[in-house]
Amino acid sequence: MSYRHPEAAEHLMFSQRYGYESLPQPMKMKELSPDLRREIWNIVRDNLLKNRKFGAASYYFPQDFTRVIERILGSLLKKPEDEIPTGYDEVLSLFKKIIFQDRFDRLLSLIELIVNNDSWHSEFHQKIAELFDFHAAAYWLEISQLPYHFFPRSSMEQGKAVQHALKTIDEGNMPGASVHLRKATEHINTQQYASSISNSILAVESVARTIDPTAEKTLAPALKSLEKAGMINHPALKATFLKLYGYTNDEQGIRHALLDKDSAEVGLDEAMFMFGACTSFAAYLVNKHQQMKQQHDGN
């Protein structure tokens, strides 16, 4: 189950909370939000403070921990370990600079080096994993077994495809679908995954009702209208769409079997899958609807 703070929405900006940013956070590859970096620094700093000692009117790190710092930063910075500064203030300053100013990949590399070093606090890796889930970051930390590694939740190609689909829906004059997809994005960003799935499905229904007003309960009338207009020529394609939509909508499907139960059963992965699938599906229906109108206007 993903970590969710009861005030999860508070760390997001207005545009993120209300879906005016087109992509959910997990699809924003090569990015780590300022809030996530800030909280990473807080956890790293807390661990550094736990390892410090006080003597001769100043703080310092004991020799065994300075060796840990030398190994971690030496590997990250590609420098000889004896060239890594180990003074208390220098270490804090260097870690802070990397966390707040360095490229996303260097920061992820730093965290991997830390979580795979047993000299750090035993709960550090768990806190980091929960933090990346809490911020719905584009990367997640696998901690089921050593060595721990980051993996992407999505891909640049998937993000571009979804952006193109969202643009298609907006330009296709489908305001209802656009509103539902913005809400789905908002709910992903605030860890309300069941609500995100519900709005993703509602976006498809909204497009279906535009194509055929009788499609209030199911997608079948809209697909039948497209089939009659020659927009869906292969029976197997139509059957595939109906099966996908039926899975999300029937009594044993996502909407009823998951959404009507404890929302904890629905995670980020399920919400992201349904957001991508429903966005692409809705964009497909918009394209076919536009082709159908052009065909009708030309006759």
User: Other C-beta atoms within 10 Å of 217: how many?
Assistant: 10
Distance CA 93, CA 83 (A): 16
Please give the backbone phi and psi of residue 150, each rounded to the nearest 5 degrees, phi first.
Answer: -85, 145
What are the tokens at 198?
A: 């519900």
Across the range 14-40, mean pLDDT stands at: 69
Note the pTM of the prediction, 2 decimals: 0.59
User: Other C-beta atoms within 10 Å of 232: how many?
Assistant: 18
| Statement: residue 249 has pLDDT above 50 | yes
Q: How many helices (H) and strands (E) does the chain have?
A: 12, 4
Q: How confident is the model at residue 259 (pLDDT cuts 50, 70, 90)?
A: low
Across the range 99-125, mean pLDDT stands at: 88
Distance CA 123, CA 100 (A): 22
Nearest Cα to Cα of residue 9 among 183, 264, 202, 203: 183
C-alpha dihedral (206, 209, 214, 217), degrees to nearest 10: -20
Q: Residue 4's pLDDT is what?
A: 42
- Burial tier of 22 (Cβ tally within 10 Å: 0-12, 13-18, 19+): middle
Nearest Cα to Cα of residue 3 among 261, 193, 222: 193
| Helix axis angle, 268-298 to 193-211, nearest 10° | 10
| Statement: residue 61 has pLDDT above 90 | yes
| Statement: residue 211 has pLDDT above 70 | yes
Q: Which has more pLDDT, 160 or 253?
A: 160
Contacting residues for 112 by C-beta, under 8 A, at least 6 apart:
147, 148, 149, 150
Q: Residue 7's pLDDT is what?
A: 44
CA atoms within 13 A on the CB side of 68: 18
Q: How confident is the model at residue 298 (pLDDT cuts 50, 70, 90)?
A: low
Interstrand relation of 139-142 and 58-60 (parallel, antiparallel or unpaired) = unpaired
